[in-house]
A = this chain, B = another copy of it.
Amino acid sequence: MSRLILAFDLGGTNVRCGILDEKFEILARAKTEVGKRPAPEAAVGKMKQIADEALGQLGKKLGDIACVGIGSPGPLNSQTGVIFETPNLGWKDVPLAKLLGDALGRPTFLENDAVSACWGEYVKGVGQGVQTMFIFTLGTGVGGGLIIGGKVWKGPDDIAGHLGHMIVEPNGPTQVFDNPGSVEALCSATACIKAAQNAAVTYPESLLARIPADEITGACVNECADKGDQPARDIFERIGRHLGIACASLANAFNPELGVVGGGLAFAGDKIMAPLRKELRRRALPPAGKRLRMEFAQLGDNAGIIGAAGLALHRLDGKL
């Protein structure tokens, strides 16, 4: 009989869970809000609550679960299960795998959310059949993940795959720490909103200028761009170009087969992807550029849950 895996996708606002079989089909799901800057114990309580809800849908108990996976924003250490810092949740040095494992009584493993999404797309999404791929997840920050030769590559300190901290414009703006012009500082939803606020001032005729500055979201910018607003279109064009530069560096450095763009901003679609591909074709060595297929993530919100489940099962089985 197939083992069951319980997996969580922990976000800044919501936490979602799913129960999956070994083929990573999601058999049941539940979600709830975590609230603003919750105490870790409170968040764990809510996670247990939605786990019980999902188990109830299947008529199962915690004892039927082989292992538990959590995909969480980082930085974190997936070997020790400790979250170093999540600005969105306001956490610092939280041993989440241990806390949740104690609450659920099952072997529990923690993984970076973007790495989970990368693995989800690899086993069940757009990455099926490839051996070497990477992901950029464009959200509040820019997450990343790296699969080399069919294995998640985390490096000796469990920190590899932070592709959002690659540098594409060294004199560019700074986001979280003093690393100006990183992919994160230029291509995150946060950067998109900031660029739109600036464009609204510079181009008072832009549709962006009709939105109160503090109400601008990535979705607003996308709507304006779809209505033909040039300043809004330019924002996505620049994001695509900057991502394309990072993808070209990755192509020339490690010759991957697939690059995936996921996360909230992916709704901008071809407005990001067309300039990305153009910049990649221009800058990659021809065999590397020809090989690297760039695609959007296919699994949406499910990628994180599927990937967290897959990586937890790998850890349980000693394959990671």
Chain A 157-183: CB-based contact to B (< 8 A → 1; otherwise 0) = 111111101111110000000110010
Contacts of A132 in B (CB 8 A): 155-156
Given A159-B252, A160-B288, A162-B253, 14 more A-B residue pairs with CB atoms under 8 Å apart are A75-B285, A148-B153, A155-B288, A157-B287, A158-B287, A159-B291, A165-B285, A166-B253, A167-B245, A167-B248, A169-B170, A249-B249, A250-B253, A253-B253
Complex partner residue of A255 from B160, B245, B252, CB under 8 angstroms: B160
How far is A144 from B254 in the complex, measured between Cα atoms in Å?
A: 11
Contacts of A257 in B (CB 8 A): 156
How far is A153 from B146 in the complex, measured between Cα atoms in Å?
A: 14
B288 touches A253 (CB 8 A): no
Copies assembled: 2
Cβ of A230 under 8 Å from chain B? no
Overall SS of chain A's interface:
loop
How far is A182 from B251 in the complex, measured between Cα atoms in Å?
A: 13
B245 touches A285 (CB 8 A): no
B168 touches A170 (CB 8 A): yes
How far is A290 from B182 in the complex, measured between Cα atoms in Å?
A: 19
Smallest distance from the beta carbon of A260 to chain B beta carbons, Å? 15
A159 touches B255 (CB 8 A): yes
| Given known contacts A153-B254, A245-B170, A252-B165, A159 and B283 CB-to-CB distance under 8 angstroms | no
Smallest distance from the beta carbon of A283 to chain B beta carbons, Å? 4
B169 touches A288 (CB 8 A): no
CB-nearest residue of chain B to A254: B160
Complex partner residue of A162 from B146, B167, B178, B252, CB under 8 angstroms: B252
